[in-house]
Structure 1
Amino acid sequence: MGDTTGPPEPTLEEQIAAYQREYSDLDPQVEQIVSALGRLNRRMNVAYGRQSAQLNMSNADWEVVKALVLSGPPYQLGPGDLAKRLGLTPAAMTHRIDRMVAEGLVTRDRDEQNRVRVIVELTDEGRQKWLRSMSLASAFEEDLLQDLTPGERSILGGMLTRLLRRVEETQPDAGGRLSDLD
C-alpha cells in the first residue's frame, strides 16, 4: 500500500495568497480570521472525537448526552425535542436513540402521565461517561489556551461570542435543521 496521507495542508499564509491570486477583492485579514477559526474547529473536533472514542462513545452519542445534561435534572427530553436541538430528522434521532439504549447510555420509556409521549433519560452510566469526557475536554482546552493570559482569554471569549451572536442573528438556520422539524 502506498502513502495515503497526501500533500500537507497549505499554511494559512499560503492559502490566503492563493485566494488573493484567484480573487483580488479578498480581505486578507478577514480570511486569516475565518480560516484560522475553521481549521481550529476541525482540529478540535478531531481531538474531541479521539477522547470520545477512548470512552467508547461517538461524537453523535456525546451530542445527545450533552443535550440531556443541558436540560437539567432529571436529564429527560422527548425524542422530538432532542431531534430539534441536534438538527436531526425524527428517523435519524430514533436510530441514534436505539443505539444509545443498547449501549446503556440512555433509557426510553413511555411517560406515565401521557402514554403517547416517549421520554429519553440519561442513565447513570451515560452521565458518568459525560463527566469523564468533560474531564478530558477540560484538560485539552486548558492546554490549548495555555499561552493566553486570563485577560486575553476574556477578550477572545467576548469577541468569539459576538461573532457567534452575529451568525445566529443573521443565519437562523446555521445551527441545523430547526424550523422544518415542527
Structure 2
Amino acid sequence: MKIPLDPAVRRFEAAFFTLFRKLGPELGIPADLSLTGPQMMILFTISSSGRCPVGQLAQKMEVTPGAISVMIDRLVNNGFVVRKYDPKDRRVVLLEITGQGREALEKIREVRTAQIKQYLAYLEPDELDLFLHSFEKIAAHIKQ
C-alpha cells in the first residue's frame, strides 16, 4: 500500500533536494585545499574549540577515536593541524589548528559566504528573517 505524501513534505523534499544538488558543489571545498568534507568539519571544530583533546573531537564528530586518528594523521601530514601533549597530563593529546589550517578555513568561508549571500538575496528582508528563524528552529530540534 502506497502511503500518500503530505503536500508540505513533498514541497520540502523538492526544495531541499534542489538546494542540496545546487549548493552542495558550490559550498564544497576548493580543489586546491586537498581536504575532504569530514576533514573540513574537524578543522572547523578544532578552530572553534582552540586546543581540542582527540577523545573530545571524536565525540563531537560522532566517530570512534580510531576512526578519527586516520583523519587527523592526514591533517597533520598536510600541515593543517598539530598534535601537542597536555602539559598537565601527557597521556592526553591535544589538537591545534595551524596558520595553514586557519588560511584554509578562511578560504572556505569566503567562497561559502559569497554563494550563500547570492541565494539569500532572492528574499525580501522580512522573508529572510522568517526563513532564518524557521531554519534555525528546525536545526535546534535536530541537535537534541
Q: Same fold (TM over 0.5)?
A: yes
Describe how 1:52-71 pairs up with structure 2 within 5 A: 52-71=30-49
Matched-pair contact (CA < 8 Å) for 2:83–2:94: yes
Q: Does 1:129 align with 2:104?
A: yes
Matched-pair contact (CA < 8 Å) for 2:47–2:96: no
Q: 1:86 to 1:35 in 2, by over 3 A?
A: farther
Higher relative helix content: 2
**Aligned sequence identity (%):** 25
Higher relative strand content: 2
Describe how 1:1-182 pairs up with structure 2 within 5 A: 23-49=2-28, 51-71=29-49, 75-169=50-144
Tell me the alpha carbon deviations over residues 64-90 of structure 1, each in whole angstroms, 9 at most, x when there is no partner: 11101221xxx2101111111111111
**Residue 42 of structure 1: CA displacement?**
4.6
Matched-pair contact (CA < 8 Å) for 2:33–2:104: yes
Matched-pair contact (CA < 8 Å) for 1:101–1:107: yes
Cα separation, 2, equivalents of 1:38 and 1:89: 30
Q: Could you list the runs of 5+ residues in structure 2 that have no partner in the other structure?
A: none
CA RMSD, 1 decimal: 1.8
Q: Could you list the runs of 5+ residues in structure 1 that have no partner in the other structure?
A: 1-21, 170-182
Q: Higher RCO, 1 or 2 (CA under 8 Å, sep at least 6)? A: 2
TM-score (norm 1): 0.72
- AA in 1 matched with 2:24: N
Cα separation, 2, equivalents of 1:55 and 1:102: 13
